Amino acid sequence: MGIGRIATFLSSLSPGSESAALAASDEVSADSARMTEQSGGARDRRQPQDSNQTGDITQQLQTMIAAVRQLNDNAVQQGAAIAVSSAGAQLKNAVTGLGHLLAAVDAQVLAGAAHTQIKQANDVVDAVEAGIAGTQAATEQLLRQMPAQQAQYAQETSQRFQAEMRQALDRVRGSLAPFQR
């Protein structure tokens, strides 16, 4: 179900394919929303479907975590240019997709089965936060070397990107909160 959409998302991660990544991320988000609707209405029939749903969600989480990890590595390599590169947009979309996926699952059903994935999600969010902080420092250095008008535009772009990433990371942290004990 959602694994095909995530695979599409992962295949769109080549440089210059920002629009494909955006579309795939939207599909992942829509799939997560459908999962939320299904889990809300199927509480009584959940027993036989729990193991299948848990396995599917666990696989989806693992795939999204791997995608965020890879995109974060690519984004860190971009350094100060992340705010204007497709790598930055793809990373933001993947983090948002991970947040949507986590928000769509029932923490009580998934907590035990996906303990490893939840820990990995926490770790990857920490890595993204560290990478964002590192690129912010690189951006500040670069801004000092630019002409004033160009530096102002670059600073505004960077600040907007930083704010959007922090917002996406906060959403993921909020989605991870029910899994924490």
Question: Left if phi > 0, otherwise alpha if psi is -120 to 50, otherwise beta: which for 106?
Answer: beta
Q: Cα(79)–Cα(12) distance, rounded to whole angstroms?
A: 21
Tell which residue, 43, 174, 22, has the closest CA to residue 103. Answer: 174
- Biggest CA–CA distance in the chain, Å, is 64
Tell which residue, 65, 55, 54, has the closest CA to residue 97. Answer: 65
Give residue 8's pLDDT: 53
Residue whose entry in the numeric block shows the structure tokens 């790598």: 87
Q: What is the mean pLDDT of each run of 10 residues along the chain (181 residues)?
A: 48 46 48 48 46 75 93 84 86 92 76 78 93 86 88 90 93 88 62
Who contacts 147 (Cβ-Cβ below 8 Å, separation ≥6)? none
Give residue 13's pLDDT: 47
Could you tell me the sign of the dihedral formed by the alpha carbons of 117, 32, 158, 68, in that order?
positive
Give residue 20's pLDDT: 43
The fraction of the chain above a pLDDT of 70, given in percent, is 67
Domain residue ranges of the chain, discontinuous segments joined by +: 50-177
Give residue 15's pLDDT: 45
